[in-house]
Amino acid sequence: MSPRVRIADVAAAAGVSTATVSRTLSSPGLVGEKTRERVMAAVSATGYRINAAARDLRRQQPRAILVLAPNLANTFFSRIIAAIQDVARQAGLAVQISDSRAGTDVLEAIVQSGRADGIVLLDGALPPDMVRNWTLPVIQLCEWNDGYALPGLRIDNAAAARVAVDHLAALGHERILHVSGPAENVLSQARQAGFREAMTARGLPADIHDGGFTIEAGAAAAHVWAAMADRPTAVFTASDECAFGFISECYRLGFEVPRDVSVIGFDDVDFAGHFIPPLTTIHQPRARLGRQAAERLVSALLEDAPLGEGYDQIPPHLVIRSSTTAYRAKTQGGSAA
Applying CB under 8 A, among 54, 227, 305, 326 the residue interacting with a second copy is 54
Nearest approach, Cβ of residue 139 and DNA (Å): 25
Intra-chain end-to-end CA distance of the chain, in Å: 70
Q: How far apart are CA 52 and CA 47, in angstroms?
A: 15
Applying CB under 8 A, among 108, 129, 146, 166 the residue interacting with a second copy is 108
Spell out the residues 6+ positions from residue 131 whose beta carbon is closer than 8 angstroms to its own: 121, 138, 145, 147, 148, 150
Q: 67 φ, ψ to 5°?
A: -105, 125
Task: State the binding string over 275-304 for a second copy (x if CB under 8 A, else -).
Answer: xx----------x-----------------
236: partner contacted, choices DNA, a second copy, none (Cβ within 5-8 A by kind): none
CA separation (Å) from 67 to 92, 122, 174, 291, 294?
Answer: 16, 8, 42, 13, 10
Q: How many residues does the chain have?
A: 337
Residue 313 binds a second copy (CB under 8 A)? no
Residue 34 binds DNA (CB under 7 A)? yes
CA separation (Å) from 52 to 25, 60, 115, 129, 281?
Answer: 13, 11, 11, 32, 45
Q: Which stretch binds a second copy (CB under 8 A): 94-102, 159-167, 177-185, 222-230?
A: 94-102
18: partner contacted, choices a second copy, DNA, none (Cβ within 5-8 A by kind): DNA
Applying CB under 8 A, among 42, 161, 179, 215 the residue interacting with a second copy is 215
CB of 35 or CB of 98, closer to a second copy: 98
219: partner contacted, choices DNA, a second copy, none (Cβ within 5-8 A by kind): a second copy
Q: Tabulate helix, strand, coil % of the chain (nearest 5).
A: 45, 15, 40
CA separation (Å) from 27 to 5, 30, 45, 125, 288?
Answer: 21, 6, 20, 43, 32
CB of 16 or CB of 67, closer to DNA: 16
What part of residues 213-242 is at the interface with DNA (CB under 7 A)?
Answer: none
Residue 110 binds a second copy (CB under 8 A)? yes
Residues that bind DNA (CB under 7 A): 4-8, 15-20, 22-23, 25-26, 30-32, 34-36, 48, 50-51, 54-55, 57-60
